[in-house]
Amino acid sequence: MDDSKVVNMKDKGGNSFKWRGYTKIGIFLVLLLALILFIFANLFIVKEGEYKVIRQFGEVVRIVDEPGLSYKIPFIQSVTSLPKYQMIYDVKEAEINTRDKKRIIIDNYAIWKVVNPKQMISNARTIENAESRMEEFIYSVVRAELGQLNYDEIINDEKSSRGSLNDRITNQVNEYLANDKYGITVTDVRMKRTDLPEENEQSVYTRMISERESKAQEYLSMGDAEKNKITAQTDKTVQEMLSTAQADGETIRGEGEAEAAKVYNQSYSKDPEFYSIFRTLESYKKTIDGETVLILPSDSPYARFLMGNTQ
């Protein structure tokens, strides 16, 4: 055999060996990458505020509610999510009758959450079905509770018992949900709006106006009564003050007259003639005015005094 042919055969054999080695390494890396991807494909992350439901052939086998990394069995298990946080559900408007036979439209909302995912899936299947059942219970309880109240007790803030009413509705709805094992609970049920059917609105508005006018008239009457009371009390106080002042005046006047009489007596005792002249002049004030005509004899006391003759 030719030496050049032997060398070529050796060269070809060496290259073939090297290619076979590279192929094995490539296959190993591909398998390793596939294994890593396979492992990661069966891992899942549980977020805050959610449940992870693991099903095997359609049946729930495990519930993961703690945040973090978890896993499932490949091919035979699947993962779905359910909300763990509180949700708000707007209950559909409903028309009910009050105890006094008035028709009103009630609009409620509910705050609720899933507390037992396995029960919820087993009995309600979906979130939508759970909300539907919850809505039915809310409507039933609201209709029963408001049916025991008069219309005024529902809409009038002064007579309203909505605070305790909302609590009673919430508790009863939770009892129904727990008895049927729906795996959900209602945190709160609130009445956000009460309306009248359109055909009843005008009559109710008219009655409300009449009630407000009656209330206003009542306040006016109370004000008039209070005014009369204050006026009477004031008149009484004024009369008492006047009576007291008059009595004090009479007392002072009597004391003054007594003092004047005393002074007159003292003056008379000191100078009787002067006192006689003074009393005569005082009598002139009462007996003589601008139209009085006096005819006096010359020897009368009046004439003597007027003529300046006091002898």
CA–CA distance, 250 with 256 (Å, rounded to integer): 10
Assigned domain for 25 exists: yes
Q: Is 168 found in the same domain as 107?
A: yes
Q: Is 195 found in the same domain as 132?
A: yes
Q: Which two tokens stand for residue 53?
A: 């439901």
Q: What is the pTM of this model?
A: 0.53
Q: Is 191 found in the same domain as 100?
A: yes
Please list the pLDDT of the chain residue by residue as tens digits (311 residues): 444 444 444 444 555 556 666 787 777 777 777 667 766 667 788 888 899 988 888 888 888 888 888 888 887 888 888 999 999 999 988 888 888 888 888 888 999 999 999 999 999 989 999 999 999 999 999 988 888 888 777 776 545 555 578 888 999 999 999 999 999 999 999 888 877 766 666 666 777 788 888 888 888 889 888 989 899 899 889 998 988 888 888 888 888 888 887 777 777 777 677 777 777 777 777 777 667 776 777 777 666 666 666 55
Q: Is 114 found in the same domain as 71?
A: no
Task: Please tell me the total count of domains within the chain.
Answer: 3
Q: Is 146 found in the same domain as 189?
A: yes
Q: Is 62 found in the same domain as 132?
A: no
Q: Is 184 found in the same domain as 118?
A: yes
Closest CA to 311 of 269, 277, 275: 277
CA–CA distance, 209 with 203 (Å, rounded to integer): 10
Q: Is 284 found in the same domain as 191?
A: no
Assigned domain for 217 exists: no
Instruction: Give me the domain span that covers residue 108.
Output: 93-203
Q: Is 189 found in the same domain as 98?
A: yes
Assigned domain for 155 exists: yes
